Structure 1
Amino acid sequence: MSLLSVRCKLIPDASTAEKLTRTVNQFANACNYTLQVARRDNLWNKFALQRAVYRELRERFGLSANLAVRAIARVGKRKGHKVGGFKATSVDYDQRILSVNLDTEVVSLSTVDGRVKVPMQIAGYQRHLLRTAKSIQGGQLVRGRDSWYVHLWCEYDDPPAMTPNGFLGVDLGIVNIATDSDGETYSGSHLNSVRHRHRRLRRKLQKKGTKGAKRRLKKLSGKEARFSNHTNHALSKRIVAKAQRTGRGIAIEDLGGIRDRVRLRRPQRAALHSWAFFDLGQKLRYKAERAGVVLVQVDPRNTSRTCPACGHCEKLNRVSQAQFVCRSCGLVGHADHFAAVNIAVRGWAAVNRPYLGEAESAIRHNPVPGSPRL
């Protein structure tokens, strides 16, 4: 089983919007009160925390039984967070306090003022996802700047995973967001120019510091987030479609903790911190699951310093950001491409350990056709 969040826009009237606003505000207040109790008493067990605050949430904040339980569950996920609280932006729902009628395109939600029915605006793709879902497990009410949305958590049966006849390695980077083991680059001058323009404008507005500049920064933040989200969706869709079409699995780097692990120059640092690599990995994962494509994560160490032909690993192999020259066999090529080939080898090894020698030999025999040698 896999879960997919489907976002639909809500069209509440003025009275309903007020009820939704009160619910979002009270839910956030309840979460912050629960978080205060959990930190004070070091009480993070869900059931113990529920015994401590459940009645107070019902009486003080006017939440229904299920909304109180959802608030407690949200706080339980904050264990270890020593600072920060909850903003009044969303409310979690389960199946008992949220229901959807696709024929009339109406969602029924529990609020602090009782149950309300809100019309939804559903596009064709969203309607297809909702109708093909096995069930709707719940959702999240989200308050935007000038609008309301509901994110519905849909459950799907996973298609049978195909047996891959190889792996498409994907190297994630800064100059090029992604490069695969076939040599295709998923980034270009337009993408990088947008990122640099946003960074320059953000620096200028932060230095100015006026109220107008802060408003502009907030607007820019939303625009940049939407751009990043759209780009990651488009990249992940192309990569998964290519792997599915060619009968291969997908191998990507395990980039957990990359921001703390790598040492970069200041311009590269800014680019690294401004791009949602984790989000791209998540989109690749769920799209691969829905397509029946095997996806594995591999150790990224030395993938860009190892020769895909002879296996020689040396720091000096990486002549520059883009160029790779093997100091042993003389193979010359694009460093990101060669890194993706190495990732493909490791992906195959992860699912075919007994046959690693055969797999590695097969790939390294002709890793990058046409690549010159010194």
Structure 2
Amino acid sequence: MENNLLLQELSLLQEEYKKILIKAAKDFFSINEEAVIDEINVFWSRNKKLVHCILKYLSEPYKSYVFTAAAILDINDYEHFPFISLGTYHFWDDPIYKYAKISKKLDNTSWGGKLKEQVLSTILDNIKIIENTNGFIYILPIRLFADEEAEELIHKAASQAFLSMFKEKITMEEYRSKYKTIQDIKEALASGVEKSIILSEDDDNSLDLETRFSQFIDLNEIPLSTSATEAEVFRFRLYGFLSQAFDVMLMCTEHRLIPYIRFNVALKYLLILAGNFGDSMELSDMLFKSAVAHIVHHSFDKERINGIDFKTYCDYIRLYDFENKLFRRLDDNGITLLSPSVIKTESIIIELFNEIFDALHHVQI
């Protein structure tokens, strides 16, 4: 009964949010974008207690997934299909609130323009999510309500993790004064660390760090002053990934959710950092499910789902019992977080999905 009431409240909240978003999209070019974001944040602040109640009581611990560490959940690219394939409830970790904080820190006006484009893109995408996912995916700004203490903890943890990559024990001030070039950094890194550093989705760690860093600079616009040193760019990039990983970990352990992460880099840094948190069975289970969800996302054949109604897919994926079948087969094959096999996991997932696609296309015919 309580769940039904919470679901009703959550559904109403989504409809109210859609109205706010539609207004925001209309106002975006007529008023300052920060004012648009502030209005969205005011809406969520007004509903803060309800959001906390939903996250605390709606779902059993670690049974629901949150699509996170991304700026967009792409409905046009069918990303909502694999996302709802696992778990009881599904949340999109709305990133709009972050943009106000980011924009105030930027001194690169060109990148600031790109940020404005991203804000509008996310607003329009959020409207699509609410209109097209039939109440199967809910938008909540889960990290908006993190207190200052949590933010400080994330900052300290990310800074410490970054500095721990170096041979010498140094402070961030010493890092800034001692290192200027990527060559300086390479020579100062602890043994074996270079190969664990990932700079982008396309990073090839068979290449040396200088080459990879040069490629990253050439292919990406950096939201820093043009006078920033290579060491400053390197710190900015790595600190961003590390703080994101800590942020996701804290969010998911606090609200007992499974992180659904599309990007390879974000997942890899999460798994790397998790190794420092001991032998918690709860954390290991969460990370294993997250890693499997990542493979589910990238194993999903979007061409085969074309033409299939989303609600029909949602209903059938539960009738088929996809999640339980998948984890039973993984268990039967001895696949765990400590004994992974990406190739075998992909094979099992594709086999199960093909059975689902065949059944759905037969129904459509």
TM-score, normalised via structure 1 length: 0.28
More helix by share: 2
TM-score scaled by length of structure 2: 0.28
Q: Which has the larger radius of gyration?
A: 1
More contact order relative to length (CA 8 Å, sep ≥ 6): 2
